[in-house]
Structure 1
Amino acid sequence: MEEFLLTIVGGGAVGLATAREFSRHIPPEKILVLERHTHLGQEQSGRSSEVVHSGLYDEGLKLKLCLRGNSLLRSFCHDYQVPLKMEGKLVVAKDKEEDKILEQLLHKATQNNVPEIIKIDDSKKINELEPNIKAYSALFSETTGVIDSMAYLQALLQQTENNGVYVLLGTNVTDIKPKQDGFTITLQQRDETYDIQTKAVINAAGLSADELARNINQNNLFETVPVKGLYAVAKNKGPLQIKRSVYPLPWSFEQEGRTFYDLGVHLTPTVAGNEIRIGPAVKVASSKKDYQHDISLNFFYERIVGYFPNIRREDLREGHVGILAEERNTHDFIIEPDKNFNNCIHLIGIESPGLTASLAIGEYIWNNCNPLI
């Protein structure tokens, strides 16, 4: 039976970034990353808006790790030639009433030490930045950008494997049994089933992290709510051309006894610059595998035409669908040891801004809740 010091379950951005961090401190050949899909980016890491967030909306651990992660991610992209555009973001208000909410956002950002946020009260100055956007006022976040998330995942994989870490794709965890000196993990690859031994586990399983936590310790009460984000797409040219992300005001809604916070249906140009992602339209998914695009294009049109007046219904086509892993009982990240097994760390509710925070999450685990100590 093969033995490892650390096994990370989940090979998304967070799992790979955490493996990379630990490989700088312990023998990398003693680290194993397990990813159930045969290709990277099949869940949250590859199905987002690809926005590098500034921390404008966040609180608690999300805020701390987003701010730190933003800086680390920009450095990583520079060092490893990952496509990244830091053109900033506009959050727009349509009238005086919405402008009051912008002021509240600005006040919160200032209190939280979110860098380089300014308010623009002149619509002409807004149009100097984005001629095709209609707004009464706006916040401009200079430290927001757009990343090629698949290129980022590939760079993380390459760096992690180059360091000597073992990464197994297409590998399902079917069972984890706590032992006195660690864990026995049962793995399945196609028709082959076998066990490995590991001293410590980091549960970075994303949408399945709550299920894995209960497998390890049936007393864990984490519950992931799968929240579906649906997108439309338009060509980024002519009267629709934008240079940077444009967001309406955030809002909230109640569903299934929980409050959900939504950043609104926004516009995000791809890193390549040829298309605009429009979304997400947010709803609770019927399951963790509910990737059906079941919202009409007219919904997207109605949400954006107020601040993007040149858009026509016929300019839109269906885009991708992603599912976020939100924890039912909190809106913050949960990164903590298992209550019975200190050598297991659970990462629960690692949704947005998880991509931005990914490198910081690995750093945080090493420094604050290291399962090997």
Structure 2
Amino acid sequence: METYDYVVIGGGIVGLSTALHLGEMFPGSRVIVLEKESTTAQHQTGRNSGVIHSGIYYKPGSFKAQFAKSGAVSMVEFCRKHDIPHDVCGKVIVATKESELPLLENLYQRGIQNEVPVEKVGAERVREIEPHVKCLAGVLVKSTGITSYPAVCKKYLELIEESGGEVKFGTKVERIIDRGSLQVVVTDSGEYEAKFVVNCAGLHSDRVAKMAGADPGAQIVPFRGEYFELVPEKRHLVKTLIYPVPNPDFPFLGVHFTKMIDGSVHAGPNAVLALKREGYFKTDFNFRDTCDTLTYPGFWKLVSKNLGEGMKEIHRSFFKAAFVRSLQELIPEVQSADFVPCKAGVRAQALVNDGKMVDDFLIVKGRNSLHVCNAPSPAATASLEIGKAIAKQVSEFSPLSPPTLNYA
């Protein structure tokens, strides 16, 4: 059994960024990433919309707000430096009803508070940007962009290996044994001794935390986001990114149009409970995952608070016409025949016992370990900043003495 200074569990974008920054902060240390899949970016990282978020939505002062804003800058710089396809195309958030205008104003003010470059625009200006959108007013966010996060992960992986780190695929963590100064990470392909463990297991992060004896104080509840794609001959209807004003009573952003870096246009997602943590299809079911959700008191409290909106999401999931009607509020001329299904994603949302969704990134300290137990969107945008912050936290109680971090 080999001993490593740092074992990172999870080879998604946050885990790889963490390993990259640990290698930068502790030169000469032994760093390994353990990933159960055969390659990186197989779950949340590779199944999102590829948006480089600006940070406009998040509570001022929160880690999400800080990391998204700085992450939008560092991600674009990283893509430029490494020739990764990206486009700072901007987005418009639009109000289509009178009742949404005060909410749009609140969102604009939040952008100001978060120091995000935002601009109020009228309906005519929106039509100059997006000729097919019908609205009353909008907010223009010029710093929003798009990229390919699997491509970003590929580069993270290359940089980790160039600096002497390792990434082990096809390696599922089954247990973590505390042996005082060392943690033994037991996998289905061997054991790894670690002086320090960082858990970036995404959809399974709460379970891995408990393996290490840490209390995350929350449970992952999986929500599937289902998408449609505009057929190629209709892609001209969307030039950038088009978002509705989010419902303040429901913790998701609503269905929207996203131009992808490959030129395609995705529409969605809705948000419905997944009956499997990696349940990308309606028929996917896992007994343990479902029981964990349905026996968790916080889930039923969430349902009671959001029953009406939740039923709308389920209706949109099973009836394409309802999904399309939501999209027609943004672009009236789209029709059902203009959309074909595309791959879904599952959001690993941490939920606390009182039914509230954890609204910020959640990092829990354990014995010789750190556990990232809530890192949904904008984690991909903010991955460089999150990895840097985790490495700095590790340095606070690591036996190794780090030099000054110098990474962009």
Q: If the length of structure 1 is used for normalisation, what is the TM-score? A: 0.92
| DSSP 3-state at the match of 1:243 | coil
Give the fraction of aligned pairs with identical amino acids, expressed as a percent. 29
Corresponding residue of 1:281: 270
Shift of 1:288: 0.4
More strand by share: 1
CA, structure 1 residues 236+251, in 2 after alignment: closer, same or farther (shift >3 Å)?
A: farther
Q: Given that residues 5 and 29 in structure 2 are in contact (C-alpha distance below 8 angstroms), is that contact kept between their aligned partners in structure 1?
A: no
Q: Given that residues 235 and 265 in structure 2 are in contact (C-alpha distance below 8 angstroms), is that contact kept between their aligned partners in structure 1?
A: no
Q: Given that residues 43 and 278 in structure 2 are in contact (C-alpha distance below 8 angstroms), is that contact kept between their aligned partners in structure 1?
A: no
Q: Which runs of 5+ in 2 are unaligned?
A: 283-316, 353-357, 400-408
Q: Given that residues 227 and 325 in structure 1 are in contact (C-alpha distance below 8 angstroms), is that contact kept between their aligned partners in structure 2?
A: yes
Cα distance in structure 2, aligned partners of 1:142 and 1:66: 14
Amino acid aligned to 1:282: A
Q: 1:101 aligns with which of 97, 100, 103?
A: 103
Corresponding residue of 2:378: 353
| DSSP 3-state at the match of 1:354 | coil
Corresponding residue of 1:230: 226
Cα distance in structure 1, aligned partners of 2:184 and 2:255: 44
Corresponding residue of 2:199: 203
Amino acid aligned to 1:359: L
CA, structure 1 residues 169+320, in 2 after alignment: closer, same or farther (shift >3 Å)?
A: same
| DSSP 3-state at the match of 1:298 | helix
Amino acid aligned to 1:217: G
| DSSP 3-state at the match of 1:355 | coil
| DSSP 3-state at the match of 2:218 | coil
Corresponding residue of 2:83: 81
Q: Given that residues 216 and 373 in structure 2 are in contact (C-alpha distance below 8 angstroms), is that contact kept between their aligned partners in structure 1?
A: no
Corresponding residue of 2:309: none
Shift of 1:28: 5.2
Q: 2:318 aligns with which of 295, 315, 319?
A: 295
Matched, 1:64 2:66: yes
Corresponding residue of 1:257: none
Q: Which runs of 5+ in 1 are unaligned?
A: 254-259
CA, structure 1 residues 113+239, in 2 after alignment: closer, same or farther (shift >3 Å)?
A: closer
Q: Which moved more, 1:26-35 or 1:58-67?
A: 26-35
Shift of 1:27: 3.5
Corresponding residue of 2:119: 118
Matched, 1:215 2:189: no
Q: Given that residues 214 and 364 in structure 2 are in contact (C-alpha distance below 8 angstroms), is that contact kept between their aligned partners in structure 1?
A: no
Q: Given that residues 202 and 346 in structure 1 are in contact (C-alpha distance below 8 angstroms), is that contact kept between their aligned partners in structure 2?
A: yes
CA offset digits 1:129-149 (Å, max 9, x no partner): 111111111001111111112
Q: 1:331 aligns with which of 355, 359, 383?
A: 359
Cα distance in structure 1, aligned partners of 2:125 and 2:229: 27
Cα distance in structure 2, aligned partners of 1:251 and 1:108: 15
Q: Given that residues 229 and 265 in structure 2 are in contact (C-alpha distance below 8 angstroms), is that contact kept between their aligned partners in structure 1?
A: yes
Shift of 1:124: 1.6
CA, structure 1 residues 145+336, in 2 after alignment: closer, same or farther (shift >3 Å)?
A: same
Number of aligned residues: 357
Shift of 1:162: 1.4
Corresponding residue of 1:263: 253
Q: Given that residues 232 and 300 in structure 1 are in contact (C-alpha distance below 8 angstroms), is that contact kept between their aligned partners in structure 2?
A: no
More helix by share: 2
Shift of 1:29: 5.6
Cα distance in structure 2, aligned partners of 1:306 and 1:216: 48
Amino acid aligned to 1:37: E
Cα distance in structure 2, aligned partners of 1:296 and 1:173: 39
Shift of 1:11: 0.4
Q: If the length of structure 2 is used for normalisation, what is the TM-score? A: 0.84
Corresponding residue of 1:165: 165
Alignment of 1:308-327 (within 5 A): 308-327=331-350
Shift of 1:112: 2.2
CA, structure 1 residues 336+219, in 2 after alignment: closer, same or farther (shift >3 Å)?
A: closer
Q: Given that residues 236 and 242 in structure 1 are in contact (C-alpha distance below 8 angstroms), is that contact kept between their aligned partners in structure 2?
A: no
CA, structure 1 residues 204+218, in 2 after alignment: closer, same or farther (shift >3 Å)?
A: closer
Q: Given that residues 200 and 371 in structure 2 are in contact (C-alpha distance below 8 angstroms), is that contact kept between their aligned partners in structure 1?
A: yes
Corresponding residue of 1:305: 328
